[in-house]
């Protein structure tokens, strides 16, 4: 297996919404994000998504709808020559107290078990402090993008020494060593 990159979904790959992304029609890629994933794929990276999807636990949409949203993401990615190798998601509401909802590291542990690899130094790109904490707890290398909620988190990230990038495209350039 090649190298791995872990991505949050909302605010990293697609535009975030405080009202949740509840249908495939509401899913909109952030400009350049799909091409950035395709660039990682071409460089031999596996790309997986680790995403909190509490809209399921809150009853805003069901697993079938979530699958349809992910199908649209995969189709749009395929159109630019990219792919997501696996999607790991937490469907629980915040009050469920589960181990998989970020900032808990459960989704990252699941990735580690399923792929049988160490997450040490694996880039984990997110737009929220929850993403950064979960990545750090799992031993991965947190990276913040300023899209989505990232703009509000940059001071905490900076204080923690987490690298900060304008968007997924810029983060991918850094990973691949492209100036």
CA distances from 33 to 9, 105, 124 (A): 10, 24, 15
* Number of other CB atoms surrounding residue 175 within 10 Å: 20
Q: Which of 8, 16, 127, 131 is catalytic?
A: 8
Measured distance CA(35)–CA(20) in Å, rounded: 24
Does 8 qualify as catalytic in the annotation? yes
Query: What secondary structure does DSSP assign to 91-120, as a single string?
Result: ---GGG--SSSTTSSHHHHHHHHHHT---T
Do residues 66 and 21 make contact, with C-beta atoms less than 8 angstroms apart?
no
Q: Which of 10, 16, 131, 167 is catalytic?
A: 10
Active centre residues (catalytic) = 8, 10
């Amino acid at each position: 297996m090649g190298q791995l990159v872990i991505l949050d979904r909302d605010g990293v790959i697609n535009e975030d919404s405080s009202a949740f992304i509840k249908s495939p029609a509401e899913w909109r890629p952030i400009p350049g994000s799909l091409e950035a994933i395709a660039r990682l794929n071409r460089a031999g990276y596996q790309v997986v998504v680790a995403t909190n999807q509490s809209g399921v636990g809150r009853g805003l949409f069901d697993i079938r709808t979530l699958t349809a949203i992910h199908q649209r993401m995969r189709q749009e990615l395929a159109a630019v020559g990219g792919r997501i190798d696996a999607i790991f998601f937490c469907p629980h509401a915040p009050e469920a107290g589960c181990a998989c909802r970020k900032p808990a590291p459960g989704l990252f542990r699941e990735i580690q078990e399923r792929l049988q690899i160490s997450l040490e130094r694996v880039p984990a790109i997110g737009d929220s402090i929850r993403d950064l904490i979960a990545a750090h707890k799992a031993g991965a290398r947190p990276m913040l993008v300023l899209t989505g909620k990232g703009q509000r988190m940059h001071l905490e990230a900076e204080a923690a020494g987490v690298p900060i990038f304008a968007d997924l495209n810029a983060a991918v350039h850094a990973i691949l060593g492209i100036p």
